[in-house]
Structure formats: C-alpha cells, structure tokens
Amino acid sequence: MAASPDRPRCIVLIGVLLLLPALWPTVGQAMPEFARKYSMSCAACHAAFPRLNQFGEYFRDNNMRLPNWRDTTLDTGDEQLALPPYPPLAVRAQAYAQARTGKSIDPISGETLDSSSDFQSPYLVKLLSSAPLSDHITYYFYGIFAEKGGNGETVIEDAWFRHDDLFGSGIGMQLGQFQISDLMFARETRLPFQDYMVYRMAGITYDRGVLFDRSVGRFDLGLGLVNGNGIEQNFDINSPGYRRPDKMFDNNSDKSVFGRIGTDLGPVNVGLFGLSGEQKNATGPAGTESGDRDTDKWIAGVDVSGDVNGKTYWYAQYLWNSWQDFLDDGKDYNWWGGFVGVDHILNERWVLSALYNLADADDLDNTDTIYEGIDINSLSLTASYYFMRNVKAVAEANIDFLGEDDQSGTYYTGHLDKEYYILLGFDAAF
C-alpha cells in the first residue's frame, strides 16, 4: 500500500499503542508446559520470558527435567513406561504491525515491492512439545505454522532426542535438527525481535546432525557434526531400483564439523567456536544460484556473556568467516560480523533491550552479488511489557547507521535502502 497523507495519524496511533501497555491491568501467572508439569511459575526458569535465568539454564542443561520428573508421569504400573499423563504441548504465538523503509527488490530485474506499513499477524504460531522419556532420554520439537506469512506451510525446526549420559561416560548426545549457533546464544530465547544477524549470514542456524557435550573441570565442551545443507532438502535414493522408500537428507558425504569450548572467567562466560565445512559455490545472476562445486567454509568465533545481579544480561559475539572459492575458483572470500546486546529487567513488568548488529562483507563487496548485502550496521531498541509472565507486548525501533548504496553493476544488490523499522505487537506462550 502506498504511503499517504494519513501517515502522521498512523504515527500518532502507533504512539497511542505504545502507551497502552502502561495502562494495562496487572498481575497474573503463566502456565506453559513445563510450568504445568512441575507446578512452578514461569519465573522459575525465565528472568523474563523467553530469556532464561540461572535455573532455566540448569534445567536446559539437565536434559530439560527436574529430579522429580517421574512423579509427573502416568502411573501405569509398568516401570518400563514413563508416559506423560497428557500430550505435553505448548503454543507460542506472535503477531506484529510494522512500519519500515526496506523493500523487496528482485536482485536481477529490479522489480520492487514496497510496503512501508505491514500487518504481520500472525507472525508465527508454534506448537512445542517436550518430555523426559526415560532416566536419560528427553525429546523436544516444535513446528511452526505460517511462519512469517508463509500460510499453508508447516516447518519443523528444533526436533531432537538427547541422551544425557551416553554409555555412562557423562557425555551427552543430541541427535536431530538443531541450530549450530545454539552452542553460543540461542536465537529462540532472545528478547529483541531483531535477529542475531551474523548467525543467519554465516549459515549456522538449523541443520541436521549430532551434538556431543561434556563438562571437563571448569570447561564445557561441545562437538558436533551436521549435514551442512540445512533442513529443507531431501533426495530420492533410486539407484537400487524403482520407488525405494528411503531418502537422502544430505547432498554429499562430507559433514560440517564444529565445536565450542567455554568457561567462566570470574563473572564472564567466554567461549571459542570453530567450524569446518563445505558449501556449494554461488553462481548465476547476482550469485543467486547454487553451483556444482563443493567449496570449503571456515568459521572462527568468540563469544562472551554475563549478567549483573540477575537484572542486566549482556552478551557479545564475533565471527570470522572464510568462504573459499565461493564465487570464483581459486579465490578466498573472507568476511566478519558480530553483535552486542543487553537486556535490562526494570521490574516484573518492563524489560528494555538493545541489540547492535555489525557485519562487513569485506571480500564479497563489489562482487555484484547478493552477498554484498552482508553489510549491516544497526541498533535495535526494544521495550517489552509483560501483561502476564507469559504474555507480553513488544515495541521495537531499528536504527540503521549504514549508508545507502547506489545501484551499480548489472544487478540490484547491496544496501539499496535503509532498514529503519518500528514494530509493535504481542508475543505469548501458553
């Protein structure tokens, strides 16, 4: 919809909507699935939903269970059966309205879609489920319905089994779909709407594989293997014959290997991350197509985080990336990025957050490909108001410090527009 003289009224309306939460009634309690199962407040695990507090991190690391988990199962009289008394389901739903400067531009033709204001409602509806199944095995999954406007779609993202003591070794093993970046900072438990952009750009979000973890003295170790091609591909296995039932999920035999070693240095948690893997080269107009060459990909990173009295949480991530032979054979493309964020819990109602994303496309600059768009320099300021422990209003403004690129070369790539936005909406889990 084109902009109109009504814009000032819209801005006033946005202002009124922003002020509404301050007038909202008070008090309540949240009842998502773990709270239901263990008869605990959401506040037991969340400093402010969805951010985990110290106990929430313990609960997560303890295979998402409390010691009395067996008391929460159905008494079938069979010691070899630990069924939840009801399907352990929970829902998370988000709905937003947004005003923005960014547009959808076809990088090849330049065709433009411009929606400066947008109702993103529902932004997503998630169905989550998790429960302990035995003394050492827990499952967790969630599916997203209509994520980001993709109505008619259902996407399974996190979906895994985890054994917390493999062969009595103290080693945990998680098999399934998960985010590689969860080893550092879990995107799903961030407070801002804005993403941890470098994780998306580096391609270390969802993948299929296995993750081993163990604590050794003061150090936490994580080591994983993933297919490296995301969570959307599968291929028929037809060489043995006609209509064989199985599928290949990976498109090659090589796996991406990654790991993190972390420790506490005083009040600061520090981690070092590394990944070695492969990806298909980019080719075609503006680099939008996947080529036939398997190219090497290296990532090294450092993350730090901490909190002040459980009131102010801060975190920072830096990632260096080397995509070898990614565009032209024989040439390495190095780039880097990171983010810094802080969440401050003012009280039981208000949480303020700031997230600064910075990335430099570096060797991918001036390649006339979509990868020029790795450049980002933005600050997101977020206010979250909790009507209840599990229902909040979110107001966020994104400020873009990066200068606009003039279209040059053959294609429409790079930072062609500022990415200012204002976003208002609701986020709930129940």
Bridge partners (DSSP) listed for residue 336: 320, 360
Of the pair 226, 393, the CB lying nearest another protein is at: 393
Among 60, 73, 89, 117, indicate the residue that binds another protein (CB under 8 A). Answer: 117
Token readout for 85 is 């008394």
Q: Find how far residue 359's CA is from the centre of its chain.
A: 17
Using CB under 8 A, which residues numbered 369 to 388 contact another protein? 381, 383, 385
Candidates 96-104, 131-139, 204-212, 364-372: pick the segment binding another protein (CB under 8 A): 96-104
- Residue 198 in the binding site for another protein (CB under 8 A): no
- Residue 74 in the binding site for another protein (CB under 8 A): no
**For 315-349, b where at least 16 C-beta lie within 10 A, e where not — what string?**
bbbbbbbbbbbbbeeeeebebbbbbbbbbbbeeeb
Site size with another protein, rule: CB under 8 A? 69
Candidates 47-55, 129-137, 231-239, 292-300: pick the segment binding another protein (CB under 8 A): 47-55
Q: Amino acid letter at 206?
A: Y
The nearest distance, CB 417 to another protein, in angstroms, is 6
- Residue 115 in the binding site for another protein (CB under 8 A): yes
Enumerate residues 6+ apart whose C-beta is below 8 A from 118: 97, 98, 99, 100
- Residue 18 in the binding site for another protein (CB under 8 A): yes
The nearest distance, CB 309 to another protein, in angstroms, is 6
CA distance 297 to 300: 10
Cα-Cα-Cα-Cα torsion 237, 238, 243, 246, nearest 10 degrees, comes to: -10
- Residue 268 in the binding site for another protein (CB under 8 A): no
CA angle 224, 225, 229 (to 5 degrees): 130
Tell me whether residue 392 is exposed, middle or buried, using C-beta atoms within 10 angstroms of its C-beta: 0 to 12, 13 to 18, 19 or more.
buried
The nearest distance, CB 385 to another protein, in angstroms, is 6
Strands 206-216 and 51-52: unpaired
The nearest distance, CB 118 to another protein, in angstroms, is 11
Among 55, 139, 141, 314, indicate the residue that binds another protein (CB under 8 A). Answer: 55
Contact in structure between 260 and 273 (CB atoms under 8 Å) = yes
Among 163, 418, 426, 430, indicate the residue that binds another protein (CB under 8 A). Answer: 418
Candidates 76-84, 105-113, 152-160, 286-294: pick the segment binding another protein (CB under 8 A): 105-113
Of the pair 179, 194, the CB lying nearest another protein is at: 194
DSSP-based three-state secondary structure for 58: helix
CA distance 400 to 227: 35
CA distance 348 to 388: 9
The nearest distance, CB 323 to another protein, in angstroms, is 27
CA distance 221 to 238: 39
Q: Amino acid letter at 81?
A: L
Bridge partners (DSSP) listed for residue 95: 426
- Residue 99 in the binding site for another protein (CB under 8 A): yes
The nearest distance, CB 288 to another protein, in angstroms, is 16
CB 195: neighbour CB atoms within 10 A?
Answer: 16
Contact in structure between 140 and 130 (CB atoms under 8 Å) = yes
Among 270, 300, 302, 397, indicate the residue that binds another protein (CB under 8 A). Answer: 397
The nearest distance, CB 286 to another protein, in angstroms, is 12
Of the pair 100, 208, the CB lying nearest another protein is at: 100
The nearest distance, CB 212 to another protein, in angstroms, is 25
- Residue 1 in the binding site for another protein (CB under 8 A): yes
Of the pair 44, 257, the CB lying nearest another protein is at: 44
CA distance 51 to 57: 10
CA distance 405 to 370: 13
Candidates 13-21, 203-211, 218-226, 247-255: pick the segment binding another protein (CB under 8 A): 13-21
Of the pair 376, 383, the CB lying nearest another protein is at: 383
Among 6, 19, 401, 403, indicate the residue that binds another protein (CB under 8 A). Answer: 19
User: DSSP character for 174?
Assistant: E
Tell me whether residue 230 is exposed, middle or buried, using C-beta atoms within 10 angstroms of its C-beta: 0 to 12, 13 to 18, 19 or more.
middle
- Residue 150 in the binding site for another protein (CB under 8 A): no
Q: In the complex, which residues of this chain contact another protein (CB under 8 A)?
A: 1-3, 7, 11, 14-15, 18-19, 21-23, 25-27, 29, 31, 35, 39-41, 43-44, 47, 53-55, 58, 99-101, 103, 105, 110-117, 307, 309-311, 345-350, 352, 381, 383, 385, 395-399, 404, 407, 412, 416-418, 420-422
